[in-house]
Amino acid sequence: MKALAMTEQRESQTADPRWAAVLERDTRQDGRFVYAVATTGVFCRPSCPSRRPHRENVAFFSGPEEAERAGYRACRRCSPKSAVAPMERTVRRACAYLDEHLD
């Protein structure tokens, strides 16, 4: 009976669309939620390029403020508190540089 309950719990966890977004590193989900990892104490964007955590260590939050209230800190790699993702900032800087140095 206990094994059946654990199997059902595991299936419901893997069926969560937010978990699927984390596994796929779906940039379309950035800003909709953040996920936090209990073993590291860090919260990230769904698209974070960091190593994927084990599902049982993950909690989902509607935003960075909620994750911080729960005691997690922001990931330095994906900057989940920033409105603009790090890669997007890099692309914008590169475009500005190219515009300034067309010659």
Closest CA to 34 of 24, 25, 43: 43
Closest CA to 31 of 73, 62, 59: 62
Has 44 been annotated as catalytic? yes
The DSSP 8-state label assigned to residue 26 in this structure reads -
Who contacts 48 (Cβ-Cβ below 8 Å, separation ≥6)? 25, 75, 77, 78, 80
- Which one of 44, 48, 75, 78 is the catalytic residue? 44
Active site residues: 44
